[in-house]
Structure 1
Protein backbone atom coordinates (compact mmCIF):
# COMPACT_ATOMS: atom_id res chain seq x y z
CA UNK A 1 0.00 0.00 0.00
CA UNK A 2 1.44 3.39 -1.04
CA UNK A 3 1.92 6.04 1.64
CA UNK A 4 3.51 9.45 2.13
CA UNK A 5 7.01 8.09 2.82
CA UNK A 6 7.08 6.41 -0.63
CA UNK A 7 7.47 9.85 -2.22
CA UNK A 8 10.47 10.87 -0.09
CA UNK A 9 13.71 11.41 -1.96
CA UNK A 10 14.89 12.86 -5.24
CA UNK A 11 13.01 12.68 -8.53
CA UNK A 12 13.94 13.76 -12.05
CA UNK A 13 11.06 15.61 -13.68
CA UNK A 14 9.95 16.61 -17.15
CA UNK A 15 6.85 18.71 -17.77
CA UNK A 16 4.96 19.54 -20.94
CA UNK A 17 2.59 22.50 -20.79
CA UNK A 18 0.05 22.84 -23.59
CA UNK A 19 -1.70 26.22 -23.70
CA UNK A 20 -5.15 25.99 -25.33
CA UNK A 21 -5.78 29.75 -25.14
CA UNK A 22 -3.38 30.57 -27.95
CA UNK A 23 -0.33 31.24 -25.80
CA UNK A 24 2.97 29.43 -26.25
CA UNK A 25 3.53 25.89 -25.07
CA UNK A 26 6.44 25.15 -22.74
CA UNK A 27 8.75 22.35 -21.58
CA UNK A 28 10.41 22.01 -18.19
CA UNK A 29 13.23 19.72 -17.09
CA UNK A 30 14.50 19.59 -13.55
CA UNK A 31 14.51 17.92 -10.20
CA UNK A 32 11.97 17.51 -7.42
CA UNK A 33 13.01 16.70 -3.87
CA UNK A 34 10.65 15.46 -1.16
CA UNK A 35 12.34 16.04 2.19
CA UNK A 36 10.93 14.95 5.56
CA UNK A 37 10.23 17.99 7.75
CA UNK A 38 8.02 18.05 10.81
CA UNK A 39 4.94 15.88 10.25
CA UNK A 40 5.22 15.71 6.47
CA UNK A 41 7.32 16.26 3.39
CA UNK A 42 8.43 19.48 1.76
CA UNK A 43 8.28 19.22 -2.03
CA UNK A 44 10.75 21.49 -3.82
CA UNK A 45 10.90 21.67 -7.61
CA UNK A 46 13.73 23.41 -9.43
CA UNK A 47 14.01 23.35 -13.19
CA UNK A 48 14.56 25.09 -16.47
CA UNK A 49 11.47 26.22 -18.35
CA UNK A 50 11.77 26.62 -22.10
CA UNK A 51 8.87 28.53 -23.65
CA UNK A 52 8.41 27.49 -27.28
CA UNK A 53 9.40 30.24 -29.70
CA UNK A 54 11.72 31.87 -27.17
CA UNK A 55 15.48 31.50 -27.07
CA UNK A 56 15.58 32.35 -23.36
CA UNK A 57 15.27 29.58 -20.77
CA UNK A 58 13.77 30.57 -17.43
CA UNK A 59 14.56 29.20 -13.98
CA UNK A 60 11.40 27.78 -12.38
CA UNK A 61 10.92 26.93 -8.70
CA UNK A 62 7.99 26.00 -6.47
CA UNK A 63 7.37 24.44 -3.08
CA UNK A 64 4.51 22.56 -1.47
CA UNK A 65 3.97 20.76 1.83
CA UNK A 66 2.59 17.20 1.85
CA UNK A 67 1.02 15.66 4.97
CA UNK A 68 -0.68 12.34 5.68
CA UNK A 69 -4.31 12.77 6.71
CA UNK A 70 -5.80 9.36 7.31
CA UNK A 71 -5.50 7.37 4.08
CA UNK A 72 -5.07 10.55 2.03
CA UNK A 73 -2.21 12.90 1.33
CA UNK A 74 -3.07 16.57 1.78
CA UNK A 75 -1.07 19.06 -0.29
CA UNK A 76 -0.60 22.63 0.93
CA UNK A 77 0.86 25.70 -0.74
CA UNK A 78 4.17 26.85 0.72
CA UNK A 79 2.32 29.55 2.71
CA UNK A 80 0.16 26.92 4.46
CA UNK A 81 -3.07 27.28 2.47
CA UNK A 82 -4.78 23.98 1.56
CA UNK A 83 -4.40 23.01 -2.12
CA UNK A 84 -5.95 19.55 -2.53
CA UNK A 85 -5.92 15.98 -1.17
CA UNK A 86 -5.67 12.61 -2.89
CA UNK A 87 -5.71 8.91 -2.01
CA UNK A 88 -2.36 7.35 -3.07
CA UNK A 89 -3.38 3.72 -2.49
CA UNK A 90 -4.65 2.90 -5.99
CA UNK A 91 -3.09 3.01 -9.44
CA UNK A 92 -4.64 6.48 -9.99
CA UNK A 93 -6.01 9.29 -7.87
CA UNK A 94 -7.95 12.44 -8.71
CA UNK A 95 -8.60 15.73 -6.97
CA UNK A 96 -9.64 19.28 -7.79
CA UNK A 97 -9.03 22.81 -6.62
CA UNK A 98 -11.16 25.88 -7.27
CA UNK A 99 -9.20 29.08 -7.67
CA UNK A 100 -12.16 31.22 -8.63
CA UNK A 101 -12.86 31.78 -11.40
CA UNK A 102 -10.53 28.99 -12.64
CA UNK A 103 -10.79 25.28 -11.84
CA UNK A 104 -7.84 22.89 -11.45
CA UNK A 105 -8.40 19.16 -11.96
CA UNK A 106 -5.55 16.77 -11.19
CA UNK A 107 -4.95 13.11 -11.95
CA UNK A 108 -2.08 11.22 -10.38
CA UNK A 109 -1.01 7.99 -12.11
CA UNK A 110 1.16 5.66 -10.01
CA UNK A 111 0.86 2.26 -11.69
CA UNK A 112 1.38 -0.92 -9.69
CA UNK A 113 4.22 -2.05 -7.48
CA UNK A 114 7.05 0.01 -6.06
CA UNK A 115 6.88 3.73 -6.74
CA UNK A 116 9.78 4.38 -9.14
CA UNK A 117 7.92 6.57 -11.65
CA UNK A 118 4.61 8.45 -11.64
CA UNK A 119 2.75 11.16 -13.53
CA UNK A 120 0.69 14.19 -12.55
CA UNK A 121 -1.71 15.78 -15.06
CA UNK A 122 -3.28 19.16 -14.33
CA UNK A 123 -6.14 20.35 -16.54
CA UNK A 124 -6.87 23.99 -15.79
CA UNK A 125 -9.95 25.72 -17.21
CA UNK A 126 -11.48 29.11 -16.67
CA UNK A 127 -11.70 32.60 -18.03
CA UNK A 128 -8.06 33.33 -17.12
CA UNK A 129 -6.41 29.97 -17.87
CA UNK A 130 -6.84 27.07 -20.27
CA UNK A 131 -3.96 24.60 -20.27
CA UNK A 132 -2.79 21.03 -19.65
CA UNK A 133 0.36 20.38 -17.63
CA UNK A 134 1.77 16.83 -17.61
CA UNK A 135 4.70 16.09 -15.29
CA UNK A 136 6.62 12.81 -15.31
CA UNK A 137 8.54 11.88 -12.17
CA UNK A 138 11.24 9.21 -12.21
CA UNK A 139 13.37 8.23 -9.23
CA UNK A 140 16.68 10.10 -9.50
CA UNK A 141 19.76 7.90 -9.74
CA UNK A 142 22.60 8.84 -7.42
CA UNK A 143 25.75 9.90 -9.22
CA UNK A 144 28.44 7.27 -9.07
CA UNK A 145 25.92 4.46 -8.60
Structure 2
Protein backbone atom coordinates (compact mmCIF):
# COMPACT_ATOMS: atom_id res chain seq x y z
CA UNK A 1 0.00 0.00 0.00
CA UNK A 2 1.50 3.27 -1.09
CA UNK A 3 1.50 5.58 1.97
CA UNK A 4 1.45 8.61 -0.32
CA UNK A 5 -2.33 7.96 -0.41
CA UNK A 6 -2.43 9.02 3.25
CA UNK A 7 -0.83 12.45 2.85
CA UNK A 8 -3.13 14.92 4.56
CA UNK A 9 -4.80 15.30 7.94
CA UNK A 10 -6.66 12.52 9.74
CA UNK A 11 -8.53 12.34 13.01
CA UNK A 12 -7.56 9.36 15.14
CA UNK A 13 -9.14 7.44 17.99
CA UNK A 14 -6.99 4.91 19.87
CA UNK A 15 -8.22 2.36 22.39
CA UNK A 16 -5.69 0.69 24.68
CA UNK A 17 -6.33 -2.19 27.06
CA UNK A 18 -3.57 -2.95 29.58
CA UNK A 19 -3.67 -6.67 30.36
CA UNK A 20 -1.42 -6.23 33.44
CA UNK A 21 -3.95 -4.29 35.48
CA UNK A 22 -7.08 -4.16 33.30
CA UNK A 23 -6.82 -0.40 32.78
CA UNK A 24 -8.52 1.15 29.76
CA UNK A 25 -7.17 4.19 27.91
CA UNK A 26 -8.52 6.24 25.00
CA UNK A 27 -6.53 8.67 22.89
CA UNK A 28 -7.94 11.01 20.30
CA UNK A 29 -6.45 13.74 18.19
CA UNK A 30 -5.02 14.61 14.79
CA UNK A 31 -2.49 12.78 12.63
CA UNK A 32 -0.78 14.71 9.85
CA UNK A 33 1.04 12.94 7.03
CA UNK A 34 3.28 15.37 5.15
CA UNK A 35 5.85 14.87 2.42
CA UNK A 36 9.33 15.96 3.38
CA UNK A 37 11.87 17.35 0.90
CA UNK A 38 14.02 14.22 1.27
CA UNK A 39 11.20 11.90 0.12
CA UNK A 40 10.12 10.73 3.58
CA UNK A 41 6.58 11.10 4.88
CA UNK A 42 6.32 12.65 8.35
CA UNK A 43 3.61 11.00 10.49
CA UNK A 44 2.94 13.42 13.36
CA UNK A 45 0.21 12.78 15.94
CA UNK A 46 -1.03 15.19 18.60
CA UNK A 47 -3.90 14.53 20.94
CA UNK A 48 -5.15 13.69 24.40
CA UNK A 49 -4.94 10.44 26.36
CA UNK A 50 -7.88 9.78 28.71
CA UNK A 51 -8.13 7.17 31.48
CA UNK A 52 -10.13 6.68 34.67
CA UNK A 53 -8.11 9.12 36.75
CA UNK A 54 -7.25 11.86 34.27
CA UNK A 55 -6.04 13.12 30.92
CA UNK A 56 -2.71 14.13 29.46
CA UNK A 57 -1.51 15.53 26.12
CA UNK A 58 0.27 13.01 23.89
CA UNK A 59 2.30 13.27 20.71
CA UNK A 60 4.59 11.18 18.57
CA UNK A 61 6.40 11.50 15.27
CA UNK A 62 7.23 8.62 12.97
CA UNK A 63 8.48 8.60 9.40
CA UNK A 64 7.62 6.47 6.40
CA UNK A 65 10.81 5.95 4.43
CA UNK A 66 11.10 4.56 0.92
CA UNK A 67 13.26 1.43 0.83
CA UNK A 68 16.05 0.80 -1.67
CA UNK A 69 14.81 -0.35 -5.09
CA UNK A 70 15.79 -3.98 -4.42
CA UNK A 71 13.55 -4.25 -1.32
CA UNK A 72 10.08 -5.56 -2.24
CA UNK A 73 8.52 -4.02 0.89
CA UNK A 74 9.06 -0.55 -0.60
CA UNK A 75 8.45 1.51 2.58
CA UNK A 76 9.45 1.22 6.25
CA UNK A 77 8.28 2.99 9.38
CA UNK A 78 11.04 4.56 11.45
CA UNK A 79 11.06 6.38 14.75
CA UNK A 80 11.76 10.11 14.76
CA UNK A 81 15.44 9.47 15.55
CA UNK A 82 15.80 7.18 12.50
CA UNK A 83 15.67 3.81 14.29
CA UNK A 84 13.82 1.13 12.35
CA UNK A 85 10.31 0.21 13.54
CA UNK A 86 8.61 -2.08 10.98
CA UNK A 87 7.84 -2.53 7.29
CA UNK A 88 4.91 -0.51 5.98
CA UNK A 89 2.71 -3.17 4.57
CA UNK A 90 -0.92 -4.12 4.76
CA UNK A 91 -1.15 -7.22 6.92
CA UNK A 92 0.88 -8.59 9.79
CA UNK A 93 4.11 -6.96 11.01
CA UNK A 94 6.37 -7.57 14.01
CA UNK A 95 8.83 -5.48 15.98
CA UNK A 96 11.01 -6.64 18.86
CA UNK A 97 11.51 -3.83 21.39
CA UNK A 98 14.00 -5.12 23.94
CA UNK A 99 12.32 -8.30 25.17
CA UNK A 100 8.80 -7.13 24.29
CA UNK A 101 7.21 -8.22 21.02
CA UNK A 102 4.91 -5.95 19.01
CA UNK A 103 2.66 -7.90 16.65
CA UNK A 104 0.29 -5.86 14.59
CA UNK A 105 -1.01 -4.82 11.30
CA UNK A 106 -2.17 -2.02 9.07
CA UNK A 107 -5.55 -2.20 7.33
CA UNK A 108 -6.08 0.30 4.52
CA UNK A 109 -8.94 -0.44 2.12
CA UNK A 110 -8.37 -0.38 -1.63
CA UNK A 111 -9.54 2.70 -3.48
CA UNK A 112 -9.81 6.13 -1.92
CA UNK A 113 -8.70 5.93 1.71
CA UNK A 114 -11.81 6.97 3.68
CA UNK A 115 -10.58 5.42 6.92
CA UNK A 116 -7.93 2.96 7.94
CA UNK A 117 -6.78 1.06 11.02
CA UNK A 118 -3.66 0.09 12.91
CA UNK A 119 -3.58 -2.52 15.66
CA UNK A 120 -0.92 -3.90 17.99
CA UNK A 121 -0.72 -6.75 20.49
CA UNK A 122 2.31 -6.16 22.70
CA UNK A 123 3.61 -8.90 24.99
CA UNK A 124 6.72 -9.45 27.06
CA UNK A 125 8.16 -8.96 30.52
CA UNK A 126 7.61 -5.17 30.49
CA UNK A 127 4.44 -4.78 28.42
CA UNK A 128 1.14 -6.57 27.95
CA UNK A 129 -1.50 -4.58 26.09
CA UNK A 130 -3.62 -4.32 22.97
CA UNK A 131 -3.99 -1.11 21.02
CA UNK A 132 -6.38 -0.35 18.18
CA UNK A 133 -6.35 2.93 16.26
CA UNK A 134 -8.85 4.14 13.67
CA UNK A 135 -7.95 7.02 11.37
CA UNK A 136 -10.70 8.94 9.57
CA UNK A 137 -10.74 12.11 7.43
- SS state of the match for residue 20, structure 2? coil
**1:18–1:26 contact (8 Å) kept in structure 2:** yes
Q: By how many angstroms is 1:72 displaced? A: 2.8
Q: Deviations over 1:118-145 (max 9, x none)?
A: 0000110001100001000012xxxxxx
Q: Which residue number corresponds to residue 13 of structure 2?
A: 14
Q: Which residue number corresponds to residue 99 of structure 1?
A: 97
Aligned length: 132
5+ residue gaps, structure 2, are none
Q: Which residue number corresponds to residue 41 of structure 1?
A: 41
Q: Which residue number corresponds to residue 79 of structure 1?
A: 81
**2:15–2:133 contact (8 Å) kept in structure 1:** yes
TM-score by length of 1: 0.86
Q: By how many angstroms is 1:113 displaced? A: 1.8
5+ residue gaps, structure 1, are 140-145
Q: Which residue number corresponds to residue 115 of structure 2?
A: 117
**1:67–1:74 contact (8 Å) kept in structure 2:** yes
TM-score by length of 2: 0.90
Question: Over aligned residue pairs, what C-alpha RMSD do you find?
Answer: 1.3
| CA distance, structure 2, for counterparts of residue 72 and residue 26 of structure 1 | 33
| CA distance, structure 2, for counterparts of residue 23 and residue 79 of structure 1 | 32
